[in-house]
Amino acid sequence: MNKLMTVENVDICCGLSWGDEAKGKLVTELIRKKRYDFVCRWSGGSNAGHTVYFNGHKYHTHIIPSGVFYGVSSVIGPDCYLNIEDFMNEISYLNNHGFDTSIVKISPRTHIISNEHKEEDLLKYKEKQGTTGKGIAPCARDKYGRVGKMFKDILEDNDILKSYLWDEYLHGNVLCEGAQGFWLDINYGNYPYITSSTTLPYSACSLGFPPQRIRDIYGAAKIYDTRVGIDPDFPDSLLEDTTLNEIALVGNEFGTTTGRARKVNWLDTDRLIKAINISGCTHIIISKTDVLEKVGRFRILNSDMEYRDLDELQKVINEILMPSCPLLKRIVYSNSAEGIEDL
């Protein structure tokens, strides 16, 4: 039997902004409410950061898919980049909290980030482009220059690493967990202030399923925009805006991976429409609505209007997005709490 065709349905979760859109919360809600046989990361590396709430506790992961919290087979795909030390540290972190990491698997084709890659990343790119310093760009360069090392190349005489080798077999229902966001994509972001991989849902097919198996694409955004790192689209002048600073403070806007403060701006609905349509989203989740309620200001970037309350703002956003996004079936709003009740 052709193993590809044993995949029944694929759902994809992706970010629609600059990362930090509560994708971790979205993914864990989908795992809780639907039945999946695999949860897979398809791109990026430990430059990503997902916050996961499980049984009343908060956990941070960077490369291991969120399925591990629910006992679902969790795969790191061939288009990811992996530093073995970072991976084993995350395995230890999860083991110490009582999670079964034997269900975590790595594609034999995943490219390996060396310590030299990390050092080069910090030395050459941190000040210029605001890199996380995780070695992704130098590793990607070696991959496409055909001089890199894959996971299968480093397994000799290492039984511990061999136990994480994926057999490249998917079946049943699959959830693909995205990293970063649309506007950090290497093709669509503000180059060169982007990540070194594609963040768009179509690249999830690199895991080994045909696009016809994709059922739904879930996009995540916040009700205001945030960006960590260097980007002329997010100028330093934003830091001088009192209201935006208050939103950052109330929203606890610090990067999960870097700990750096995020710059905040009002929601750009034009950008959001483009991200939704190119990503092919059928559902979107807009989170952190309670932050604007606490601050008491309700705006979008594309209008000078100041709206009365959250209900009016949400109505305006719906009226802008729904006619402009033909594949979009549903918009769900969520606060900063752990779950997404209406998903």
Question: Does 57 participate in catalysis according to the annotation?
Answer: no
Nearest CA to 148 among 80, 203, 64? 80
How far apart (Å, rounded) are the C-alpha atoms in residues 117 and 261?
25
Task: Say whether 331 sits in a helix, a strand or coil.
Answer: strand
How far apart (Å, rounded) are the C-alpha atoms in residues 79 and 164?
17
Task: Say whether 24 sits in a helix, a strand or coil.
Answer: helix
Catalytic residue among 11, 20, 225, 268: 20
Position 230, amino acid: I
What are the φ and ψ backbone dihedral angles of 261, each rounded to 5 degrees?
Answer: -65, 140
**8 A C-beta contact, residue 282 and residue 218:** yes
Catalytic residue among 50, 111, 117, 283: 50
Nearest CA to 95 among 107, 105, 106, 103? 103
145, with CB counted inside 10 A (0-12, 13-18, 19+), is exposed
Task: Label the pairing between strands 283-287 and 214-222.
Answer: parallel
**8 A C-beta contact, residue 291 and residue 224:** yes
Question: Does 20 participate in catalysis according to the annotation?
Answer: yes
Q: Which residues are catalytic?
A: 20, 50
